[in-house]
């Protein structure tokens, strides 16, 4: 099942609606990487609220997405990880290091806004 | 060359199969009779041995003697009837009374074994002339005596385990509150022993709390945790990481010097953990992260007593 990617001003929002196969994940990755360039986005939010399981491939892909997007000049935030999912992931040793996370979409947007403000203020 | 001892031993082996339940019962009856007759001196002898062995130091001599009397009577009754229910009940009862006073398992087993020895000695003395009869008496006495010792010891240990279980439940029921002290700021004070089960419960509550209160920063205060092993420490690290996946930063406060040293010694990687000395420092750091600034208002108006007078 394809993941809809919405453009919201400077950001892209990908809301995962149901469990994804490995291929779906790679499609999502390719689509995000492409659209970041196309829309000149500054930030990407991947919403995983609907997922009640995040296996190692999915976690690795999310991490890869974040790193690739960073190389493309934007920030990625993973939002909506469920408490049970979070704990299961940590127990499996998947901690999404160096990937930003936020509680939900609203928090993710706030985080990106803050990040961009800092980026603008810095130079 | 055969010594008298060997002859006796041989005859004993020959008489061995002659042991029948009826004979055992008769012997036990004789035994009980003997114990009833010499109740006073055997009881005193036993109490004396208990004092001598310096067990039951938590109890006074009079108490020891009173308990010794009832144990003795129960003991004889159990020998006589061959049923142990009454003794079981009594020993549980006794355990209930003496455990809170700090009586140890080895003491209880010690005194029961002392009684067994005292009674066996009296049997030796009584039947010293007739070795075969002594042997048969002991055959009847020993299994019963061992079973009594067993019953009392098991009763005591069971009682002790029951108390431990109750206490564990009590500890588990001591809730571990997740408190919101400011918008987006939670504190989780942990007090007492953390076992794997409680650690799991804590984590679940915290993660739920983060979601429910939309927390950005969590301060986990472990001032009240006396000791921590590698298992619990790793669990703490996992909790911190899981919280981060929910988008919350965790600050751990109140690591005691001992725990800090233990953690370093067992090599738990605390690099990912944000630690601050005490709860106050943790809350201040959390406020800083959240962009709060605490400024004292002009007059400290609410010191008790002052306001009423003005």
Phi and psi dihedrals of B179, rounded to 5?
Answer: -110, 140
Position B16 scores a pLDDT of: 47
**CATH number for the domain harbouring residue A93:** 3.30.750.24
Three-state secondary-structure class, residue B59 = coil
Task: State how many domains chain A has.
Answer: 1
User: Residue A92 is encoded by which pair of tokens?
Assistant: 């499996």
Domains in chain B (CATH in brackets) are: 4-171 (1.10.490.70), 179-309 (3.30.750.24)
Position A103 scores a pLDDT of: 92
**Contact (CB, 8 A) for B136 and B19:** yes
Phi and psi dihedrals of B13, rounded to 5?
Answer: -60, -35
ipTM over 0.90: no
Give A120→chain B minimum CA distance, Å: 19
Cβ contacts from A onto B, under 8 A: 55
User: Minimal CA–CA distance to A104: which of A78, A84, A71, A122?
Assistant: A78
Q: Which helix (H) or strand (E) holds A21?
A: none
> Which residue of A53, A86, A91, A115 is the best one to mutate when testing the B interface, meaning the one whose CB has the most B CBs within 10 A?
A86
Separation of alpha carbons B147 and B85, rounded Å: 12
Residues of chain B contacting A95 with CB distance shorter than 8 Å = 241, 244-245
Query: Smallest Cβ distance to B245: which of A81, A107, A108?
Result: A81
Separation of alpha carbons B46 and B63, rounded Å: 13
Per-residue tens of pLDDT for chain B, all 310 residues: 455 665 555 554 444 444 566 777 777 788 888 888 888 888 888 888 888 887 777 777 788 888 888 888 888 888 788 777 888 888 888 888 888 888 888 888 888 888 888 888 888 888 888 888 888 888 888 888 888 888 888 888 888 888 888 887 777 666 678 889 988 999 999 887 788 888 888 888 899 999 999 999 999 999 888 888 888 888 888 899 899 999 999 999 988 888 888 888 877 776 777 888 899 999 999 999 998 888 887 766 666 655 554 4
Separation of alpha carbons B117 and B185, rounded Å: 67
Query: Smallest Cβ distance to A103: which of B211, B239, B242?
Result: B211
> Could you tell me the CA-to-CA distances from B216 to A5, A76, A88, B141 in Å, in that order?
26, 18, 21, 73
Domain that holds residue A65: 5-121
Query: Smallest Cβ distance to B245: which of A101, A107, A111?
Result: A101
């Amino acid at each position: 099942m394809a993941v809809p990617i919405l453009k919201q001003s400077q950001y892209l929002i990908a809301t995962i609606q149901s469990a994804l196969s490995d291929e779906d994940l790679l499609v999502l990755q390719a689509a995000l990487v492409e659209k970041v360039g196309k829309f000149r986005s500054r930030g990407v939010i991947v919403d995983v609220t609907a997922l009640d399981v995040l296996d190692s491939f999915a976690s690795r892909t999310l991490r890869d997405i974040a790193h690739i997007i960073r190389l493309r000049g934007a920030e990625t935030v993973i939002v909506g990880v469920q408490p049970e999912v979070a704990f299961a992931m940590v127990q499996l040793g998947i901690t999404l290091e160096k990937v930003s996370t936020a509680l939900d979409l609203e928090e993710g947007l706030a985080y990106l806004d803050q990040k961009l403000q800092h980026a603008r203020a810095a130079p | 060359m055969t010594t008298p001892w060997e002859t006796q031993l041989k005859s004993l082996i020959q008489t061995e199969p002659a042991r029948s339940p009826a004979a055992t019962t008769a012997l036990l009856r004789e035994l009980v009779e003997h114990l009833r007759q010499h109740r006073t001196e055997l009881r005193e002898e036993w109490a004396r041995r208990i004092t001598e062995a310096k067990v039951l130091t938590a109890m006074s001599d009079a108490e020891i003697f009173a308990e010794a009397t009832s144990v003795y009577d129960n003991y004889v009754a159990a020998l006589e009837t061959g049923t142990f229910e009454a003794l079981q009940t009594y020993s549980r009862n006794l355990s209930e009374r003496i455990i809170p006073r700090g009586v140890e398992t080895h003491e209880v087993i010690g005194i029961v074994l002392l009684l067994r020895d005292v009674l066996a000695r009296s049997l030796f003395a009584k039947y010293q002339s007739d070795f075969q009869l002594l042997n048969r008496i002991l055959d009847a006495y020993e299994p019963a005596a061992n079973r009594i010792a067993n019953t009392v010891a098991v009763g005591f240990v069971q009682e002790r385990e029951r108390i431990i279980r109750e206490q564990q439940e009590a500890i588990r029921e001591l809730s571990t509150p997740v408190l919101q002290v400011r918008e987006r700021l939670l504190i989780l004070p942990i007090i007492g022993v953390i076992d794997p089960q409680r650690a799991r419960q804590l984590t679940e509550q915290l993660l739920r709390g983060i979601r429910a209160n939309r927390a950005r920063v969590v301060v986990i205060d472990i001032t009240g945790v006396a000791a921590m092993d590698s298992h619990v420490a790793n669990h703490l690290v996992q909790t911190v990481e899981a919280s981060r996946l929910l988008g919350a930063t965790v600050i751990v406060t109140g690591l005691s010097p001992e725990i800090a040293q233990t953690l370093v010694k067992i090599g738990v990687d605390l690099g990912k953990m944000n630690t601050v000395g005490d709860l106050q420092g943790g809350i201040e750091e959390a406020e800083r992260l959240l962009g709060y600034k605490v400024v004292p208002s002009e007059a400290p108006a609410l010191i008790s007593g002052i306001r009423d007078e003005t």
